[in-house]
Amino acid sequence: MEKIVIEGGNRLEGEVIISGAKNSVLPLMASTILTSGVNSFTNVPDLDDVRTMSKLLVMLGAKVEYDSGNLEIDSTAINNWIAPYELVRTMRASVLVLGPLTARFGKTRVSFPGGCAIGERPIDQHLKGLELLGSKIIIEEGYIETKAKKLTGSIIPFDISTVTGTENMMLASVLAQGETILLNAACEPEVVDLANALNKMGANISGAGTDIITIKGVSKLKPIKNYEVMPDRIESGTLMVAAVLLSGDLLLKNCIFEHNGAVIGKLIEVGAEISKVSDGVRVKGTDKFKSIDFTTLPYPGFPTDMQAQLMTLMSVSKGLSIISETIFPQRYLHAGELRRMGAEIKLVGNSAVVRGVKHLSGAPIMASDLRASASLVLAGLIANGRTDISRVYHLDRGYDRLDKKLEQVGAKIWRDKE
Options 16, 50, 73, 93; binder of ligand EPU; rule CB under 6 A: 93
Number of H-type helices and E-type strands within the chain = 14, 24
For position 334 contacting ligand EPU by CB under 6 A, the verdict is no
Helix, strand, or coil (residue 89): coil
Options 19, 154, 304, 307; binder of ligand EPU; rule CB under 6 A: 304
How many C-beta neighbours within 10 Å does residue 63 have?
Answer: 14
For position 124 contacting ligand EPU by CB under 6 A, the verdict is yes
Q: Which of 183, 96, 177, 166 is nearest to 134 (CA)?
A: 177
Give the shortest CB-189-to-ligand EPU separation in angstroms: 11
Cβ–Cβ < 8 Å for 266, 292: yes
User: Which residue(s) pair with 412 in the sheet?
Assistant: 7
DSSP summary character for residue 385? S
Task: Give CA–CA dist 389/2, Å, rounded.
Answer: 9
Report the chain's C-alpha Rg in angstroms: 21
- Residue 205's Cα: distance from chain center in Å? 23
Options 151, 370, 379, 402; binder of ligand EPU; rule CB under 6 A: 370
For position 71 contacting ligand EPU by CB under 6 A, the verdict is no
Residues 389-418 binding ligand EPU (CB under 6 A) are: 398
For position 123 contacting ligand EPU by CB under 6 A, the verdict is yes
Give the shortest CB-273-to-ligand EPU separation in angstroms: 27
Options 12, 26, 44, 392; binder of ligand EPU; rule CB under 6 A: 26
- 2: Cβ–Cβ under 8 A, 6 or more apart, which residues? 392, 393, 415, 416, 417, 418
Q: Where does this chain touch ligand EPU (CB under 6 A) — which range of 120-128, 225-233, 352-360, 401-409?
A: 120-128
Q: Nearer Cβ to ligand EPU, position 50 or 413?
A: 50
Options 35, 125, 236, 375; binder of ligand EPU; rule CB under 6 A: 125
Give the shortest CB-117-to-ligand EPU separation in angstroms: 10
Q: Please calculate the CA angle 354-121-44 and round it to the nearest 5 degrees.
A: 90
Task: Give CA–CA dist 366/197, Å, rounded.
Answer: 38
Options 162, 173, 238, 315; binder of ligand EPU; rule CB under 6 A: 162
For position 236 contacting ligand EPU by CB under 6 A, the verdict is no
> 116 catalytic, yes or no?
yes
Q: Nearer Cβ to ligand EPU, position 39 or 164?
A: 164
Options 23, 146, 254, 312; binder of ligand EPU; rule CB under 6 A: 23
Give the shortest CB-119-to-ligand EPU separation in angstroms: 7
For position 205 contacting ligand EPU by CB under 6 A, the verdict is no
β-pairing verdict for 294-296 and 320-325:
parallel
Task: Give CA–CA dist 84/256, Å, rounded.
Answer: 36
For position 35 contacting ligand EPU by CB under 6 A, the verdict is no
User: Which residue(s) pair with 264 in the sheet?
Assistant: none
Task: Give CA–CA dist 264/273, Å, rounded.
Answer: 9
Q: Which member of 116, 155, 268, 277 is catalytic?
A: 116
β-pairing verdict for 38-42 and 227-228:
parallel
Q: How many residues bind ligand EPU (CB under 6 A)?
A: 25
Task: Give CA–CA dist 147/145, Å, rounded.
Answer: 7
Options 110, 163, 182, 413; binder of ligand EPU; rule CB under 6 A: 163
List residues with catalytic annotation. 116
- Binding-site ranges for ligand EPU (CB under 6 A): 22-23, 26, 93, 121-126, 160, 162-165, 186, 190, 303-305, 327-328, 370-371, 398
